[in-house]
Chains A and B, each alone.
Chain A
Amino acid sequence: MTTQFPVTGGGLPTGRPAGTSYDAGTDKPLLQISDLEVSFTTGVGEVKAVRGVDITVYPGQSVAIVGESGSGKSTTAHAVIDLLPGTGKVTGGSITFDGREIVGLPRVEMEAMRGRDIGLVPQDPMSNLNPVWRIGTQIDEALRANGFEGGRAERKERVAGLLAEAGLPDAARRARQFPHEFSGGMRQRSLIAIGLAARPKLLIADEPTSALDVTVQRQILDHLEVLTQELGTAVLFITHDLGLAAERAEHLVVMFKGRVVESGPARQILADPQHPYTKRLVSSAPSLASRRIQVAREEGATPDELLSHHADGEETRRRPIVQVRDLTKVFQIRGARPGASSDFTAVDNVSFTLPRGETLALVGESGSGKSTAANMVLGLLEPTSGVVEFDGTDVAGLSPKEQFAFRRRIQPVFQNPYGSLDPMFSIFSSIEEPLRLHQVGSKKEREARVRELLDLVSLPASTMRRFPNELSGGQRQRIAIARALALKPEVIVLDEAVSALDVLVQAQILELLGSLQDELGLSYLFITHDLAVVRQIADSVVVMQNGQVVEYASTDAVFDNPRQQYTRDLLAAIPGAGLEDAKIAG
């Protein structure tokens, strides 16, 4: 079998002019999904994940499927490439590719189509490369599986070419490295190289950048866009981020609970959403929302008033709850041989102040030292130098007993709601554990407190008897917040607490955090890489880069008038940042 593998270069034959429209009457669709139904067999019978979905993709077109997790968007995409997980099965409808029916195709024929006709760029770059093979080997596999003609040397050259094309510098050397030696962005570039290796006509990009930092995300999406346009590849984007979808695709398909609720040109949907679900999506997309959530403040209550019941004087009220001065943390990295260890400064001379009842955001890319700083504030890491003062007391000088008491006053909520709850603990035990540890109240009183906490985070009391695996990501994060609130802390450290959640759930949690702050007078230290979220929740912002504070100002000042180039880059990288004008213009 001979296959042509066009190489990108100067004059490309197949180009997709920007803004091309597709006429269903004259163009032949590349992919046509009609009335597709997909079901999963579970213990309680068949569950329909996709119910009657119609999607059409024309050659060279970019289409995005938008929806929250569980909407069936990924399932639809996996049905197209016949890689449904577990017990998933197409139970109705048809999928045609280039006029050929895919559903029910024999395994061998489907294997021949994968890679060559339909490529896939999967969601999580961390888990999608086999850790035991070199990057080059894994790309080489894609070439050989799809009939690339040529010897070892030619393939090696082609692998380097593909990696370079995906935007990886020094590609020939990189090909000899292993996935664990790559950053998330580099791995995603490798996966793009794999997906495009055999020049497929359709590329399925399943949340290709949701696990990456915003700045990296933007570079990779830009690159993917240029590349697929040059090659004339049609792209089927799967994403939960409406801003990103509208920016990257010509045509949007909005899915909700296994059905398509709305579809049409991206700008049109953004400007004039018809379905109530789409309207909610448009209004709650963090990248499009503009102002801080101020639930109680709008009703006239100020945090100061609300605080007065546990502030016992003017002096205490004025004093910031957390004050960090010249905080530095140096890690020793063990070298390959004795004596070869080196120092790594994760946090470098950082100072900031968290006033009572306010929210301070620590922003930066991964590796900027924001989580390390937070761990030192929590007292989980010992600073190399510098001072963390909590309510006027230096945390470092605490005796073990005082430290135990200090832990009651500051509580964390972590990023991954799936990982931070013990799967063997019922929800009740998870929330009750801190109360039990600190010997608060009798058994009866503790149960009453758990009920109260669940009510506070808007979950029914019946949730107590359930286990983490029975709850959704958003519900679990509510549980994590309830657990953090159990001991009535004054400060909550939220370490990427909403980053793993869908936009709608994210908006709900942010709203919950806002109302809890006003109700209980809490102070938040909010750690995130997502500036769009910062705008909705924070009063002031600390921007960190390589362990140092590069900008520290009020939220409005940072957003309206960023002083540092780095901050401007971060702001520009928010997906859909440039869409607000389009929304207004209609």
Chain B
Amino acid sequence: MLWYLGRRLLQLIPVFLGATLLLYGLVFLRPGDPVAGLGGERGLPEAVQEQIRQQYNLDEPFIVQYLLFLKGVFTLDFGVDFRGREITEVIAQALPVTFQLAMMALVIEAVFGLTFGLIAGMRKGGWFDGTVLVISLLVIAVPTFVMGFVLQFVVGVELGWLPVTAGRDPDFYTLLLPAIVLAATSFAYVVRLTRTSVAENLSADYVRTARAKGLRRTQVNGRHVLRNSLIPVVTFLGADLGNLMGGAVVTEGIFNINGVGGTLYDAIIRGENVTVVSLTTVLVIVYIAANLVVDLLYAALDPRIRYA
């Protein structure tokens, strides 16, 4: 177990180096000069541009820039962006908001998805199953920005149940509506995955054995059907955490949340390479960590999986 964990953590090193090099290469290859665009219509004097290039090491060759970036990573000093803000500060501001939003969405989709999927799977072909199927298809079919605006208007503006936008330093309450919008699509997938898995497990031989022992229906469902059905769902949820964190751009835009999505978008437009690469690398690490947690959860759910 410890060996396994150690090996998995060691694997982080090549993944980190590969990801950053690839990302740095991509942003470097992007056409256009970020410094030339800084001065707006009139442009900056040549000397000032030159000074900015030197300050941000933009006049160095690619590999030197990359190594300087790595040095920044290991000393935890990424430098400042074009507007003079510390990049570590930019990340520290954007990441917690998005993380909270993603976690809320994950909990919503897990709790509702599993519950609805479980009921639908047990009563396969019934009215509940049919209704859930239609709803999940609808949710998958409607794009996020449509659902975002509709919910914002109906729940936020017309009914006034939840705040319309989040703004600075949002709390749980203001993030609830965006989290629901963000969770919607994945919720639909979790429902359908759980339903299929439960329906399959219900006809498994060991479920019949459990019933033959004289266990009551609720005991059979809780101990033998649910736990075994969780395994594929957990895989999906783990992979989804990464998507929720990186893919919240649209939702963050609609609800005016100052998170990773918006910051990343701004940084790409402005050509702030260090910010782009740093933020994306953090996302890569979150993604890897989520997958590691999933792999460890597997062992807890299924003793057949051993770490060797």
Contacts and interface: CB of A to CB of B under 8 A. Distances in A.
A142 B302 CA distance: 21
A86 B125 CA distance: 13
A195 B213 CA distance: 7
Contacts of B209: 120, 122, 128-130, 191, 194
B131 to A, nearest CB: 23
A127 interface: yes
Contact of B203 (A86, A113, A120, A145): A86
A124 B303 CA distance: 20
B158 interface: no
A133 B208 contact: no
Contact of A132 (B205, B217, B303): B303
A180 interface: yes
B208 A112 contact: no
Interface stretch (B11-19, B83-91, B140-148, B222-230): B222-230
B214 A336 contact: no
A66 to B, nearest CB: 22
Interface residues of A, number: 41
A145 B216 contact: yes
Given A86-B203, A127-B204, A133 B212 contact: no
A117 to B, nearest CB: 9
A114 B211 contact: yes
Interface string A106-139: 0110011111100110111001111111100000
B303 A334 contact: no
A111 B302 contact: no
Nearest to B306: A336
Interface in B153-198: none
A111 B308 contact: no
B42 interface: no
B296 interface: no
**Majority SS at the chain B contact face:** helix
**Majority SS at the chain A contact face:** loop
Interface residues of B, number: 26
A142 to B, nearest CB: 4
Contact of A128 (B206, B303, B306): B206
Contacts of B26: none
A272 to B, nearest CB: 36
Contacts of A178: 303-304
Interface string A192-219: 0011011000000000000000000000
B219 A145 contact: yes
Given A124-B205, A128-B206, A130-B228, A194 B213 contact: yes
A112 B214 contact: yes
B212 A131 contact: no
A83 B206 contact: no
A114 B212 contact: yes
B219 A336 contact: no
A133 B205 contact: no
B3 interface: yes
B208 A83 contact: yes
Contacts of B228: 130-132
A116 B206 CA distance: 18
A180 B211 CA distance: 21
A551 to B, nearest CB: 36
Given A85-B208, A108-B216, A116-B214, 15 more contacts: A83-B208, A111-B216, A120-B209, A122-B209, A128-B205, A128-B208, A129-B209, A131-B304, A132-B227, A132-B303, A134-B303, A141-B210, A145-B214, A146-B214, A334-B308
Interface of A: 81, 83, 85-86, 107-108, 111-116, 119-120, 122-124, 127-134, 141-142, 145-146, 178, 180, 191, 194-195, 197-198, 334-338
